[in-house]
Amino acid sequence: MRADAPDHLTAAGWAALDAYGIRTIIDLRNDDELHPDLAPRPEAVTTVHLPLDGVEDREFWDHWEPRPPPLFYGPFLERFPERVAGVIAAIANAAPGGVLVHCVGGRDRTGLITLLLLALAGVEAEAIAADHAVSDERVATVYAQRSIEADVDLTPLLAREGTSTREVLVSTLASLDVESLLRGGGLTEDELVAVRARLLGP
C-alpha cells in the first residue's frame, strides 16, 4: 500500500490498519518531517525509517528543488540508486504481511517508489501514470490538514516546463531499466525475486 503519513491516525485508524494486515511501515520522510503519533501504533507493526531525499546533497537539490516533481524522478534515480534500492530491499525483506510505504503527502517520494514497484510487476507505463494521478485527489486534503504550504496542483507548473506528469512518467519509464538500476544500487537477485513475489504472489 502507499499512503500519506499515518501519524494522524486515531486508535480506531491504527486498529483498522492492523486488521487490514499491514505489518511493516516504510517511512520515507526526512528527520525534520517526523511528528509524534496521535495514537500508539499496534505492537504487530514494525516501522522502518528510510529517508529517501538525500537532502545533504545540496548540489543536486539546489538545482532540482525549485522545479516541480516529478521532473526530478529520472535524475534522482541516476544520482541515488542506492537509496531507492534500499527501500525496495526493505520491502523484499519485510516480515510476512502487508507493507505500507509513505512520505508526507503520499504522492512524490512515495510515487517514485510505487513507480518502480509497478514497473517490476510488469505494469504498463500508461497505467503507472494513471495510478500516480490518483494521489492528486488526496494530497490537497493532506496538505490542508497539516498546514503545509506547497504546490498541490502541479499541472500549471509542469505546463510552464512544456510537459505534464503523465508525459514525464511515461518518458522516465521508457528510458529506465529498473532491474539494472536496482542491482546497481545494491539490490540482490534474491531480493528482486522476493519483492516480485510480494507484488505478484508465488
Domains and CATH numbers, the chain: 2-200 (3.90.190.10)
**DSSP of 41-110, one letter per residue?**
PPTT-EEEE---S-TT-HHHHHHHTTSPTTTTHHHHHHH-HHHHHHHHHHHHTSPSSEEEEE-SSSSSHH
> pLDDT digit string (tens) for 41-76?
999 999 999 999 999 999 999 999 999 999 999 999
Active site residues: 103
Closest by CA position to 79, among listed 59, 65, 101: 59
pLDDT confidence of residue 115? 97
pLDDT exceeds cutoff 80 at 137: no
> pLDDT digit string (tens) for 85-97?
999 999 999 999 9
**Residue 62 CB coordination number (10 Å):** 9
CA 157-165-139 angle, to 5 degrees, is: 80
pLDDT exceeds cutoff 70 at 151: no
DSSP 40: P
